[in-house]
Amino acid sequence: MKITEILERREYSVSFEVFPPKKDGNFDGVVRATEQIAELKPAYMSVTYGAGGGTGEYTMRIADQTEKKYGFPVLAHLTCVSSTKESLGEAIAELRRRGIGNILALRGDLTPELERTDRSLWAYSHATELIAELRSADPGLCIGGACYPETHPESPDQKEDIKHLKEKADAGCDFFTTQMFFDNSLFYNFMYKIREAGITVPVVPGIMPITNGNQVERAVKLSGSFMPQRFKSLVDAFGSDPEAMTQAGIAYATDQIIDLFANGIRHVHVYSMNKPAVAAGITGALSSIIGKKVK
């Protein structure tokens, strides 16, 4: 089933995300965490692609295995940064061979190593080129892309960023998932602006439950997200106590999700980061709201 069909049919649902191990990492441990999250019956799950493309094989294996075992769709991430035409063609062929029909098409994070390489040698500079390539390889694919309510950190301003987002939609992107944010008003504002710019595809807000103080620093540095005072106070109070921070982080994320649902947003993606307890906490807190009414 296509993710866009789920977004159309379900009334209030959440999806979860896992990331694959690094090459020499713990594959079985990630599979166990993925299965525990899958048992919670999310609307779909997504599997990230390692920065620089290092874990592509694991992404596809986890996506393929989970979809076959649990029957709900899995969204496999795919990045194009540093890919050659040939390596990307092989990745697309492998996704098709495995029957993966939902792909989140990204440029990819720029690792320090990638930053040092000569960009003029890259076959792809932006996600739009990957989206166009996927669309021409298979018109039936469901293709997602990333968007940034607080503007992508490399973008000179929001207007420019939204202009390029429109190009992604026009290249054949069926839906977008947002970068994390901790203040819903930034998301509502962004939605208004992209609709004004003529972007009509569904947008799924991405919510990150913060479970420890160090994670906040990393997450905020990567995404440039604004931290509202209410959120900062919570991290100051509980950030050094992992159990207390997990509870407080789940409560804050749940509060954000309920506000989104109450304001007409029906689907939320949760950056569950291979943590079944976090996924279970969110699912439990929303149990009388999500999963109802399939049209």
- Positions touching ligand FAD (CB under 6 A) are 48-49, 51, 77, 79, 104, 106-109, 126-128, 146, 152, 154-155, 161, 164, 168, 177, 179, 206
The nearest distance, CB 163 to ligand FAD, in angstroms, is 8
Secondary structure of residue 143 in the 3-state scheme: strand
Q: Is residue 86 among the annotated active site residues?
A: no
Q: Which of left, alpha, beta for 42 (phi over 0: left; psi -120 to 50: alpha)?
A: beta
The nearest distance, CB 181 to ligand FAD, in angstroms, is 10
**At CA 286, angle to CA 213 and CA 247, rounded to 5?**
25
Lookup: tokens for 165: 């987002």
- Inter-helix orientation angle 242-262/276-285, to 10°: 40
Which residue in 258, 161, 159 sits closest to 207, CA to CA?
Answer: 258
Cβ nearer to ligand FAD, comparing 245 with 265: 265
The nearest distance, CB 235 to ligand FAD, in angstroms, is 22
**At CA 27, angle to CA 25 and CA 32, rounded to 5?**
135
Q: Which of left, alpha, beta for 274 (phi over 0: left; psi -120 to 50: alpha)?
A: left
Cβ nearer to ligand FAD, comparing 55 with 245: 55
What is the DSSP code string of 241-280? -HHHHHHHHHHHHHHHHHHHHHTT--EEEE--TT-HHHHH
Which residue in 236, 210, 201, 278 sits closest to 36, CA to CA?
Answer: 278
Cβ nearer to ligand FAD, comparing 179 with 246: 179
The nearest distance, CB 295 to ligand FAD, in angstroms, is 26
Cβ nearer to ligand FAD, comparing 28 with 154: 154
Cβ nearer to ligand FAD, comparing 149 with 239: 149
Q: Which residues pair with 78 in a beta bridge?
A: 105
At residue 91, φ and ψ (nearest 5 deg) are -65, -40
Cβ nearer to ligand FAD, comparing 98 with 164: 164
Per annotation, catalytic residue among 5, 8, 17, 113:
17
Q: From CA 224, how far away is CA 286, in angstroms rounded?
A: 28
Lookup: tokens for 137: 């390889």
Residue that is written with structure tokens 């995404």 in the block: 223
The nearest distance, CB 49 to ligand FAD, in angstroms, is 4
The nearest distance, CB 266 to ligand FAD, in angstroms, is 18
Active-site residue set? 17
